[in-house]
Chains A and B, each alone.
Chain A
Amino acid sequence: MSAVQQAAAPKPTLHGISAPGDFWRELRESLRNPDFWALSSWLDVIVRARRSRLGVLWLIAPAVVYVFGLGSFFTSMRGATGDSVGQYYTHIALGALVFRSLMSAIIGSANVFSSSAAFIMDGHMRLTDYLMQSLAKAFFDMCMYLPVAAVAVWLAGGIDPVGLLISIPALILIYFNALWIATIFALAGARLPDLGQLLNTISVFLFLLTPIVWYPEMMPDNSLRGSLMRFNPFYHFVDAFRAPLVGDAVDPISYWYIGGMTVFGPILATWVYRRYARYVPLWI
């Protein structure tokens, strides 16, 4: 409840209430009051499971198909790389885990405002809540990969314990980046309803462009395919998470790439949010 100020300029001023725009303050409030976004995303997930008899098994099914289905299919095509089948499964499982989680955060965020239109129109205006909702859903999606990844790791005969320690900050970094990407895509998706469809379409392409079912070593550095792969941000996130776990070295470019995104992404998101968050109710 601040003091009254008269609006001299055409810029709207609001007092005693929080106009959306201050990204970090609203994010802080969202994190402090997780009730709404945690509950609504959790309900969305369990409701999906509840509609069917096998329930949770269906949520895990895509992970099983990706890792063991695609995995055993490609084992025959992969040629001799010297890895065991278990190691190949681990490679796919960890890659797909990061990829699916990031991708579902981004695709989900593109429609998150329009699917929450009823809440927004009713005055629940802390938009960061909806962003957290799509991140939380992505996190649940990731959890569905964990049991499958655990089986793959067991088949491979264990995991690098130091890599396991590194993977946790790597995951936090990945979610931090997912947050700003989701912010920008959510605002863009509110304005351009086609964005969700577009992302869905290119996600297939990105999946194939990211070394999940194949190995980055298969793309030579100086080839067009190699530079295309390195241009793909998903490659760097997947690499930063997976390489330490399987005992490989992270591509040095990935450090620069992720470092740059972690610094400049949030700045961009803050600016975009301040500029456009207040238009969201009008767009949806």
Chain B
Amino acid sequence: MSTSIHVDSVTLDVPLYQQPARQPSGWGALFLGAALDPPRRRLARLLQDVNFSLGEGDRLAILGRNGAGKSTLLRVLNRVYQPTYGSLEINGSCQALLNMGLGFNPEATIHENIYLRGVAMGLKTPFLRKHVPEILEFSGLGAKMGHRLRTLSSGQRMRLGFAISTSVQHDIILMDEWVGAGDAEFMEKAKERMEGRVGGSKIVVLASHSTGLLRDICNKGIVLEKGRLVHFGDIASALKNYHDMLTQIRAETPALPEESAGTAGGASVYGYVERITNQDDAFEIKGWFVNNEGAVPRGIAMEVNGSRYLAETFELQKRPDVMRHMGLSQDQCGFRAIVRVPDARSVGDLGRDMQVFGGDTHQYANTPLKLAAEVIRSINLPTIASSP
């Protein structure tokens, strides 16, 4: 039977318990109230009338703001929450990569924990026996096999969880944000493994705030808002819908300080450097970028041999092609920036470790932008060849 997911008018109500909010008359009343007031029960509708179908080869992006119901929908798909109304049909083996650190017993050894976690995932003991060396090798914890789990650092634990969770290929993968953390070497392995697993699975459902990532991986998208499905279509149209929604919300509620603080960290910028050219030590960088909310950042910085150089001039350019690709509401998302790198005379001098960062301001540009193939080629050219 071919792999598929059909979600037919799924509605999910859950009981929530609220402490009655009242103004305590003093300290005594505050303590007594917290201890004695029984929580009030009411139903909350987390999902309302959600419909969509996925077939083999579909990669679905779940878009939505915090609290829109993304994780809830993943849990419904993972059969944890039973829909209150509607029906759900899933054909194919399904794996959720929602929580990597789950279900370990801190006092048991690493070896025992591999078994524990493995059988919890429904793997069979003989299968695990065969795969334990491979899991230990992948997580780089072979030497610690007999140690207790609590002696591991959180990074090592994450690596172990990742190695176990991804040891089998499933038909359907459910993911809440892209999995991956740890040191650079492990990240590289993890990325490769994840790409393999995602490539090998027939259906992927990925909830993320990172629109760039979703654009890269997914071909379809749904947009959730307050538990309702507001859009289902191909990824570009879903991104467009999502960005339009965010633009509208931004217009209605001007300048929420928390939100701008969130993007100032720069973790949410996505974009490409398409061309770097130079005149002496002034390098012109061209490309495009966008943040998670569909807005365009304003900062560029370049890092060469560990030193950071901020953009001296910066201007936005029209990029209708990018606007269509990313489903943006405006086309001013291209940039042209000039960065001075004192000791460099050619693009090749920048070195292979060169990185370009994007962010809200030049100072806070912290997210590395991707380099287009042409740029990678030009920085890999030997210095002698490019400088006469």
Whether the pair A51, B99 counts as a contact (CB closer than 8 A) is no
- B interface residues, how many (CB within 8 angstroms): 39
State how many angstroms separate the Cβ of B176 from the closest Cβ of chain A: 11
* Interface segment, one of A33-41, A59-67, A166-174, A219-227: A33-41
Q: Which A residues are CB-close (under 8 A) to B8?
A: 6-7
Q: Which B residues are CB-close (under 8 A) to A47?
A: 105, 107-108
7 intermolecular pairs with C-beta atoms under 8 Å apart: A7-B86, A10-B84, A12-B84, A20-B82, A43-B108, A120-B80, A122-B102
Whether the pair B80, A123 counts as a contact (CB closer than 8 A) is yes
B132 within 8 A of A: no
A259 within 8 A of B: no
Whether the pair A19, B79 counts as a contact (CB closer than 8 A) is yes
A204 within 8 A of B: no
Whether the pair B125, A35 counts as a contact (CB closer than 8 A) is yes
A263 within 8 A of B: no
> When A4-B89, A122-B98 are in contact, do A36 and B119 touch as well, CB less than 8 Å?
yes
Residue of B at shortest CB range from A16? B91
A35-B119, A282-B14 are known; give 8 further A-B pairs, CB within 8 A: A7-B8, A10-B84, A14-B89, A43-B105, A43-B108, A44-B105, A47-B108, A120-B80
Whether the pair A121, B80 counts as a contact (CB closer than 8 A) is yes
B116 within 8 A of A: yes
Q: Give CA–CA (A119, B96) in the complex, Å.
A: 12
Q: Give CA–CA (A13, B86) in the complex, Å.
A: 7
Whether the pair A121, B99 counts as a contact (CB closer than 8 A) is yes
Whether the pair B119, A19 counts as a contact (CB closer than 8 A) is no
State how many angstroms separate the Cβ of A279 from the closest Cβ of chain B: 8
Residue of A at shortest CB range from B4? A16
- A interface residues, how many (CB within 8 angstroms): 37
Residue of A at shortest CB range from B88? A14
Q: Which A residues are CB-close (under 8 A) to B103?
A: 118-119, 122
State how many angstroms separate the Cβ of B229 from the closest Cβ of chain A: 17
Q: Give CA–CA (A62, B38) in the complex, Å.
A: 38
Q: Give CA–CA (A43, B81) in the complex, Å.
A: 28
Which of A5, A36, A118 neighbours the largest number of chain B CB atoms within 10 Å of its CB? Answer: A36
Whether the pair A124, B82 counts as a contact (CB closer than 8 A) is no
Set A14, A44, A120: member contacting B82, Cβ < 8 A: A14
B15 within 8 A of A: yes
State how many angstroms separate the Cβ of B54 from the closest Cβ of chain A: 14
B120 within 8 A of A: yes
Kindly supply a per-residue 1/0 record for chain A positions 93-126, scoring 1 wherever the CB is within 8 Å of any chain B CB and 0 otherwise: 0000000000000000000000000111111110
Q: Which B residues are CB-close (under 8 A) to A35?
A: 119, 124-125
Set A13, A19, A124, A278: member contacting B120, Cβ < 8 A: A124
Whether the pair A281, B87 counts as a contact (CB closer than 8 A) is no
Instruction: Using CB atoms and an 8 Å cutoff, list the residues of chain A in contact with chain B.
Output: 1, 4-7, 10, 12-17, 19-20, 33, 35-36, 39-40, 43-44, 46-47, 50-51, 118-125, 278, 281-283
Set B87, B105, B107: member contacting A14, Cβ < 8 A: B87
Whether the pair A119, B87 counts as a contact (CB closer than 8 A) is no
Q: Which B residues are CB-close (under 8 A) to A6?
A: 8, 87
Q: Which A residues are CB-close (under 8 A) to B119?
A: 35-36, 39-40
The A-contacting residues of B in range 33-92, CB under 8 angstroms, are 75, 78-91
Q: Give CA–CA (A169, B348) in the complex, Å.
A: 83
Q: Which B residues are CB-close (under 8 A) to A51?
A: 107
B1 within 8 A of A: yes
Whether the pair A282, B81 counts as a contact (CB closer than 8 A) is yes
State how many angstroms separate the Cβ of B104 from the closest Cβ of chain A: 9
Whether the pair A36, B120 counts as a contact (CB closer than 8 A) is yes
> When A47-B108, A118-B103, A119-B102 are in contact, do A281 and B80 touch as well, CB less than 8 Å?
yes
Whether the pair A122, B99 counts as a contact (CB closer than 8 A) is yes
The A-contacting residues of B in range 98-129, CB under 8 angstroms, are 98-99, 102-103, 105, 107-108, 112, 115-116, 119-122, 124-125
Q: Which A residues are CB-close (under 8 A) to B80?
A: 120-123, 125, 281
Q: Give CA–CA (A281, B80) in the complex, Å.
A: 6
Q: Give CA–CA (A1, B15) in the complex, Å.
A: 31
Q: Give CA–CA (A16, B89) in the complex, Å.
A: 6
Whether the pair A7, B87 counts as a contact (CB closer than 8 A) is yes
State how many angstroms separate the Cβ of B83 from the closest Cβ of chain A: 5
The A-contacting residues of B in range 1-47, CB under 8 angstroms, are 1, 6, 8-9, 14-15
State how many angstroms separate the Cβ of A35 from the closest Cβ of chain B: 4
Q: Which A residues are CB-close (under 8 A) to B9?
A: 7
State how many angstroms separate the Cβ of A188 from the closest Cβ of chain B: 15
State how many angstroms separate the Cβ of B306 from the closest Cβ of chain A: 41
Q: Which A residues are CB-close (under 8 A) to B85?
A: 7, 10, 12
Whether the pair A282, B79 counts as a contact (CB closer than 8 A) is no
Set A17, A118, A278, A281: member contacting B99, Cβ < 8 A: A118
Whether the pair B15, A43 counts as a contact (CB closer than 8 A) is no
Residue of B at shortest CB range from A126? B122
State how many angstroms separate the Cβ of A134 from the closest Cβ of chain B: 16
For the complex of A and B, 3 pairs with smallest distance between CB atoms? A7-B87, A35-B119, A47-B107
Set B15, B79, B102, B115: member contacting A125, Cβ < 8 A: B79
Set A1, A36, A119, A281: member contacting B81, Cβ < 8 A: A281
